[in-house]
């Protein structure tokens, strides 16, 4: 559903959004010909997403560097549906690449929509805005895997500080006890806030935690590095109830003439600018980028960086660009009609995504968010509230639209009995296997009737792996995406455990009479605890395989590894192995997915990459 508002309300919204355009439009170009003639660049960044914009901004802080970002999508500045936080629940296909996976045997031979932002700011412009860092174990595992202590939890705190700016929520509600002030940062680039609007289920959720205890215990701050338990959910939303993306956070300096952004620019490949010999081994230098602004009548333009090309195309785009450039598995490249230049078999492999199910239980209430996304009258009312109530443009972000779709989030480990049998694939002993969060309504597009409570279940430490491969020699043909969902036994076992946790939570006395019906395919709450164990197991497995989707947290397709490792695609400094002048900075560089939403770790990678790159060129 795409929001429809009255003409007067639309005019007011448009006036407001036009003020945002001035913040970041100075360096954004629609056409390459509009860029000042003869301008040369030290760094060219392929991809203006979460990582690309943050990295570009940090590099351009050095007055000696000129930086160009090539973004395939359109500008996000002033786009209405992505500015209002709650409207993240409304899929707008024009801002997505509209990719799909291959048929997934682990999902009952279904294919899935594979979300990926096709807009400046990338997925930071369309995501659910969850601000979750993951566990300390996640980053310590990065450090152990790469042999670089700079990726450890203690070491990355400086980059969290550069990124996070904790601000009061819209309306300045009392948030005492909802977070630990000592584990947050207050002077970074991206606005982060706690929930501003109370959901009707908030008190019930917290009462259930008090009643149950144990694994359900309250966690004062899930971002402390120890996320287990249930706590309040910070999100990347500013104090006026607006989305804070890489664009709003990092492109707000009008006077920055060191950074240019070209939108509608599709990168085809990187091209060698030289071929040197080191220790009798040929070594290519890739500092030229080939792109087009018209994939219908393709005319390729080449531009060369004097220092480095940095690929920030995301888990799909980065391996696709490398493979189209002849960097990958030589055998498969030749089979696709690509000249193999650098044999790097790990490119496109190790794809990992978190299996996700939004489980909507019918509830005995009308006090949910469901009518916001199915009733234009209600939608207009809450929009007017978000804009200040009087329609005069105070823009205080009041009401439900100034928040995302969940106020709390919780993390759990599966039982020791199961880890003994299937292995423990979390990053450490205090890291979760599962994420569960309650939502006061049906996730995304609700049915025409009924009111719901959604318990979303996510396997955050999955074992299943897949791949990204190119589909021929045309660089603009969508790649073959095979995430391999639920192909590892551990993942299906873990998701079953998630349902035991959900049902036990909803069986707390505070929910008596609240849940009317389970999602189709699941047993009622009483039946869950009385069914034959084998029958329950069969029913859960069928439901899971037929309901699982993508969490939109894919990682790992250009993974970093130790400098001397025989596997992996990147060194710990994010340089592509075996070549010069080329790095990759985005979630594709993660060797493992963090037990979190991936937005914050991507920002961490961008912030650290900026420091590494600046340091290397200042020596």
- The average pLDDT across 561-575 equals 97
CA distance readout (Å), 609 to 124, 178, 528: 18, 32, 49
3-state DSSP of 152-220: CCCCCHHHHHHHEEECCCCCCCCCCCCCCHHHCCECCCEEEECCCCCCCCHHHHHHHHHHHCHHHCECC
- What's the pLDDT at 202? 98
Q: Per-residue pLDDT for 14 more than 60?
A: no
- Rounded to whole angstroms, the Cα distance separating 431 from 408 reads 18
CA distances from residue 44 to 299, 312, 479, 510 in whole angstroms, order as listed: 19, 10, 23, 56
In angstroms, the CA 154 to CA 427 distance is 16
Tokens standing for 534? 């084998």
Domain boundaries, the chain: 197-232+355-369+405-461+486-547, 371-403
Residue 619: the pLDDT is 62
Distance CA 196, CA 532 (A): 44
- How far is residue 560's CA from residue 584's CA, in Å, rounded to a whole number? 9
Cα(329)–Cα(319) distance, integer angstroms? 11
List alpha helices for 507-580, DSSP H: 525-530, 533-547
DSSP assigned state of 382: H
Question: What is the average per-residue pLDDT within 508-513?
Answer: 98
- For 115-127, the DSSP string reads --B-BTTGGGGTS
- Rg of the chain over CA atoms, in angstroms? 24
Rounded to an integer, the average pLDDT of 156-166 is: 98
For residue 276, the cross-strand partners are 283
Does residue 455 have a pLDDT over 60? yes
Mean pLDDT for the chain overall: 93
Query: Distance between CA atoms of 376 and 379, rounded to whole angstroms?
Result: 5
Give the confidence band of 393 by pLDDT, cuts at 50, 70, 90: low
Torsion of the alpha carbons at 416, 417, 420 and 423, rounded to the nearest 10 = -70
Residue 2: the pLDDT is 39
For residue 239, the 8-state DSSP code is T
With bands split at pLDDT 50, 70 and 90, how would you rate the model's confidence at 27? Answer: confident
Instruction: Evaluate if residue 21 carries a pLDDT over 50.
Output: no
Instruction: Concatenate the DSSP letters of all residues of 52-70 into one string.
Output: HHHHHHHHTTSTT--EEEE
pLDDT in tens, 235-263: 999 999 999 999 999 997 666 889 999 99
pLDDT of 278: 52
**Arch. (CATH architecture) of 197-232+355-369+405-461+486-547:** 2-Layer Sandwich (3.30)
Instruction: Say if residues 466 and 484 touch (Cβ distance below 8 Å).
Output: yes
Specify the pLDDT at position 26. Answer: 40
**For residue 442, what are the contacts with CB-CB under 8 A and spacing of at least 6?**
360, 368, 370, 373, 450, 452, 454
Flag whether pLDDT at 277 surpasses 60: no
54: closest CA among 607, 615, 613?
607
Q: At what angle do helices 376-386 and 7-24 cross, to 10 degrees?
A: 50
Cα 78–chain centre separation? 21
Residue 143 has pLDDT above 50, yes or no: yes
pLDDT beyond 50 at 24: no
Integer Cα distance of 370 and 444 in angstroms: 9
d(CA 18, CA 38): 31
Dihedral in degrees, nearest 10, Cα atoms 357, 363, 368, 373: 60
Q: According to the model, what pLDDT value does residue 137 have?
A: 98
pLDDT for position 10:
46
Query: Minimal CA–CA distance to 342: which of 581, 578, 572?
Result: 578
Structure tokens at 244: 């804070």
Alpha carbons 69 and 46: distance in angstroms, whole number? 6
| 4-8, 257-261, 485-489, 614-618: the lowest-pLDDT one | 4-8
Q: Which of 255, 281, 285 is nearest to 270 (CA)?
A: 285
Q: Is the dihedral of CA 274, 275, 276, 278 positive or negative?
A: positive
Q: What is the three-class DSSP state of 384?
A: helix
The predicted structure's pLDDT at residue 391: 55
Mean predicted confidence (pLDDT) in 271-279: 72
Q: How far is CA 98 from the centre of its chain?
A: 16
- pLDDT exceeds 80 at position 598: yes
Using alpha carbons, select from 194, 159, 70 the residue that is nearest to residue 122.
70
Q: Which two tokens stand for residue 618?
A: 């200042």
Residue 20 has pLDDT above 80, yes or no: no
The DSSP annotation for 84-109 comes to SGGGGGS--GGGB--EEPPPBGGGTS
**14's tokens:** 């448009």
Phi and psi at residue 514, to the nearest 5°: -85, -40
Is 318 in contact with 557 (CB distance < 8 Å)?
Answer: yes
């Amino acid at each position: 559903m795409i929001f429809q508002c009255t003409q007067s309300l639309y005019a007011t919204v448009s006036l407001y959004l036009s003020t945002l355009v001035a913040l970041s439009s100075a360096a954004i170009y629609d056409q390459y010909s509009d860029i000042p003639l003869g301008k040369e660049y030290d760094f060219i960044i392929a991809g203006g997403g979460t990582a690309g914009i943050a990295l570009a901004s940090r590099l351009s802080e050095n007055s000696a560097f000129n930086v160009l970002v090539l973004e395939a999508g359109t500008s996000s500045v002033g786009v209405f549906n992505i500015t209002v936080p709650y409207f993240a629940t409304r899929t707008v296909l024009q801002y997505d690449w509209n990719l799909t996976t291959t048929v997934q045997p682990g999902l009952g031979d279904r294919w899935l929509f594979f979300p990926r932002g096709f807009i400046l700011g990338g997925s930071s412009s369309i995501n659910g805005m969850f601000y979750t860092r993951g566990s300390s174990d996640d980053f310590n595992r990065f450090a152990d895997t790469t042999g670089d202590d700079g990726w450890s939890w203690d070491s990355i705190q400086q980059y969290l500080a550069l990124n996070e700016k904790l601000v009061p929520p819209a309306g300045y509600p009392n948030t005492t006890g909802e977070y630990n002030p000592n584990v947050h940062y207050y002077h970074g680039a991206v606005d982060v806030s706690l929930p501003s609007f109370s959901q009707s289920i908030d008190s019930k959720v917290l009462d259930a935690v008090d009643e149950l205890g144990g694994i359900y215990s309250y966690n004062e701050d899930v971002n402390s590095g120890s996320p287990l338990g249930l706590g309040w959910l910070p999100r990347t939303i500013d104090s006026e109830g607006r989305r804070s993306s890489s664009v709003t956070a990092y492109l707000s300096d009008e006077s920055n003439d060191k950074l240019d952004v070209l939108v509608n620019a599709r990168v085809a490949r990187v091209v060698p600018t030289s071929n040197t010999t080191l220790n009798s081994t040929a070594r290519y230098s890739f500092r030229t980028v080939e792109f087009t602004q018209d994939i219908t009548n393709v005319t390729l333009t080449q531009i060369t960086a004097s220092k480095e090309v940095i690929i920030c195309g995301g888990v799909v785009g980065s391996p696709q660009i490398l493979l189209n450039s002849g960097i990958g598995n030589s055998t498969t490249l030749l089979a696709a009609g690509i000249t193999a230049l650098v044999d790097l078999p790990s490119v496109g492999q190790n794809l990992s995504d978190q299996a996700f199910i939004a489980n909507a239980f019918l509830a005995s209430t009308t006090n949910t968010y469901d009518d916001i996304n199915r009733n234009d009258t209600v939608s207009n009312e809450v929009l007017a509230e978000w804009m200040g109530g009087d329609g005069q443009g105070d823009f205080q972000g009041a009401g439900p639209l100034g928040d995302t779709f969940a106020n709390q989030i919780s993390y759990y480990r599966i039982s020791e009995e199961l880890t003994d049998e299937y292995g423990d694939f979390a990053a450490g002993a205090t890291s979760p296997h599962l994420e569960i969060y309650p939502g006061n309504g049906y996730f995304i597009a609700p049915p025409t009737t009924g009111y719901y409570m959604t318990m979303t279940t996510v396997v955050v430490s999955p074992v299943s792996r897949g791949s990204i491969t190119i589909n021929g020699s045309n660089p603009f043909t969508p790649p073959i995406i095979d995430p391999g969902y639920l192909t590892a036994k551990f993942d299906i076992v873990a998701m079953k455990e998630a349902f035991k946790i959900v049902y036990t939570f909803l069986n707390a006395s505070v929910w008596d009479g609240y849940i009317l019906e389970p999602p189709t395919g699941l047993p009622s709450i009483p039946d869950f605890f009385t069914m034959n164990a084998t029958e329950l197991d069969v029913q859960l497995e069928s439901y899971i395989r037929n309901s699982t989707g993508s969490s939109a947290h894919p990682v790992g397709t250009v993974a970093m590894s130790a400098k001397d490792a025989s596997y992996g695609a990147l060194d710990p400094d994010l340089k592509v192995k075996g070549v010069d002048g080329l790095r990759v900075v985005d979630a594709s560089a993660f060797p493992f997915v963090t037990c979190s939403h991936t937005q914050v770790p991507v920002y961490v990678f961008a912030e650290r990459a900026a420091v590494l790159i600046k340091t290397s060129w200042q020596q």
